[in-house]
Amino acid sequence: MNGVYLPSQFGILFLPLAAVQVKPGDRLRVTCRYSHIGKGETVTLYAAIGNSGWAGFDEILHGSKSISVPEDTSWQYREDYVDISITSAISAGIYDLYAKIDGAIPEVISPTLHDVVEVLAEIPESEFGEISITSYAKV
């Protein structure tokens, strides 16, 4: 089961992550926690939906945004989010999710969460096929 380990007053807490259902037109908000030290800088937070396999992560949809990380004189944990727009470019199915900070060669990359995004089939536009009289009566 996928999940994250979070510090709590009772020690380390394992928070299981269940699959989320999305469909075209939705946005998936991915919230990340990262650790930082040093001067402030602007970096790119990036997240992608796709399939993880032996050759790497085959991305289908992704989202990214710039985030300003403030100066930290000691290691600090920080949180931010990025949205992925769900489009018809992805077909119905179960997908994996990962996030990273910066570029093709990322500074840091998250563990992949497997089978956590379920894309539902797009509901087709309204359409009528045929019509027939099923009864008639005096009213």
Partner 1 sequence: MAQHADIVEIVAPREAMAGDRVDITVRIKNLYPATIGIMVGGAQEYGVAPWPGIEFPTNWANVLGGVTQSFSGYFTMPYRAVKIHAYSYYYAEGTWHFDDEMIRTIDLAAVPESELSSIEIISYARR
Q: Counting contacts by CB under 8 A, is residue 21 touching partner 1?
A: yes
- Asked if 6 interacts with partner 1 (CB under 8 A), we say yes
Of 68, 74, 126, 134, the residue at the interface with partner 1 (CB under 8 A) is 74
> SS3 for 86?
coil
- Compute CA distances 19 → 103, 117, 121, whole Å: 27, 5, 16
Q: Which of 10, 14, 54, 75 binds partner 1 (CB under 8 A)?
A: 75
Q: Are 27 and 83 in contact (CB under 8 A)?
A: yes
**Alpha carbon distances (Å) from 56 to 45, 50, 52, 59:** 19, 10, 6, 9
Among 7, 111, 124, 129, binds partner 1 (CB under 8 A): 111
Residue that has been written with the tokens 């259902």 in this structure: 21
Residue 86 or residue 130: which is nearer to partner 1 going by CB?
86
Q: Are strands 113-119 and 20-22 parallel, antiparallel or unpaired?
A: parallel
65 touches partner 1 by CB under 8 A: no
Mapped onto helix, strand or coil, the DSSP state of residue 139 is coil
Q: From 55-63, 95-103, 123-131, give the range in contact with partner 1 by CB under 8 A.
A: 95-103
CB of 54: closest distance to partner 1 in angstroms? 22
Residues found near partner 1 in the complex (CB under 8 A):
4, 6, 15, 17, 20-22, 26-41, 43, 47, 69, 71, 73-75, 79, 83, 97-101, 107-111, 113, 116-117
